[in-house]
A = this chain, B = another copy of it.
Amino acid sequence: MSQPSVDVIAIGNAIVDVMAPSSDDLIAELGLVRGGMTLVDTDRARELYDAMGPAREISGGSAANTLAGLAALGARCAFIGQVADDQLGEVFAHDIRAGGIDFTTPSREGEPPTARCLIFVSPDGQRTMNTYLGASQFLPAEALDEAAIADAAVLYLEGYLWDPEEPRAAMRKAIAAAKGAGRKVAFTLSDAFVISRHGDDFRKLIEAGEIDILFANQDELAALTGESDFDAGVAALAGKVEVLAVTRGAEGAVAVAGGERAEVAAEPIDKVVDTTGAGDLFAAGFLFGHVRGRSLAESLKLGAICAAEIISHYGARPEADLKALTASV
């Protein structure tokens, strides 16, 4: 088994976030679940966009955000995801490549357009996401470059993309390619709704040893394990994956690996502007520590710092110099 030349290759939604400040009243009027993620069709996306205030567009996508953080920290990264041949697709491709991430998945001709996520940001920074999957859901298994997957230390998969059929098949193929090459597979559960639909798949993958590094927040942990008690949830999974990292919002995060358990408090920040991408950037910092052989506690600290950076401004792509912010860890 040769040394991998890439740290992390990820498969995820290739999506542009459309974000606007919003009152909680508007979120309620529109029938949105504050803090949640909902899939929307063309008509509903139009309706929500029409109701949204003046917005800004910033590339997003959970796994892509994580790679943006990893690359900013100095990791070598590659991304696999499906954009359409349109202006938002160009925006997504530009931003990920400009971050130093290898991205070669060909854009897809014709309809539907590139995915977008309409994000209503509450005054307290909570984000309410409405995802129009567009082209993203048509990532074909043939788009995978198995040699590239074999050449990365870690394959990182986004749970959101387990929902549509074609990308799910692509991700199963990618897991086989990574495992066949002796690489590690990392998986983020993404959202409770994904677990409600595909929890059995995830539990089977975990039992079969297909997932080495698992990221979850506390709600996803409860949904996946059926344990409402946090420690019981951690205990239920801890022995089944090599590394388990669970975020707890303002309470920080916990990680368990090889019988060791570590915790980190959330970093203090002046003002929470927009929580979009907090989990994604925690994963970036943690995974960077992991692939660089840092301790569990240091990896958690890296995750906490990156998460704090992302919630201090609009958008889920880092703005500050993450290397400088994490230099003291």
Contacts and interface: CB of A to CB of B under 8 A. Distances in A.
Q: How many copies does the complex hold?
A: 2
A48 to B, nearest CB: 11
A56 B56 contact: yes
A87 B113 contact: yes
Contacts of A54: 59, 68, 94-96, 98-99, 317
Given A21-B319, A319-B21, A55 B94 contact: yes
Given A86-B87, A319-B21, A98 B53 contact: yes
B52 A98 contact: yes
Contacts of A50: 94
A58 B20 CA distance: 11
A312 to B, nearest CB: 12
A213 to B, nearest CB: 26
Interface string A60-95: 000000001000000000000000001110010011
Contacts of A91: 55, 57
A315 interface: yes
A55 B95 contact: yes
Give the contact-size bracket for chain A.
20 to 34
Contacts of A49: 94
A321 to B, nearest CB: 10
Interface in A90-141: 91, 94-96, 98-99, 113
Contacts of A88: 87
Contacts of A68: 54
A57 B54 CA distance: 12
Nearest to A320: B21
A95 B315 CA distance: 17
Contacts of A58: 56-57
A158 to B, nearest CB: 19
Nearest to A90: B49
Interface string A27-69: 0000000000000000000000110111111110000000010
Nearest to A317: B54
Given A87-B87, A113-B87, A319-B21, A56 B57 contact: yes
Interface of A: 20-21, 49-50, 52-59, 68, 86-88, 91, 94-96, 98-99, 113, 315, 317, 319
Given A50-B94, A55-B98, 10 more contacts: A20-B98, A49-B94, A54-B98, A55-B94, A55-B95, A56-B315, A57-B58, A86-B86, A86-B87, A87-B113
8 contacts: A52-B94, A54-B59, A54-B94, A55-B91, A55-B94, A56-B315, A57-B57, A86-B87
Per CB-CB distance, the 7 closest pairs between chain A and chain B, nearest first, are A57-B57, A87-B87, A54-B95, A56-B58, A54-B98, A54-B99, A53-B98
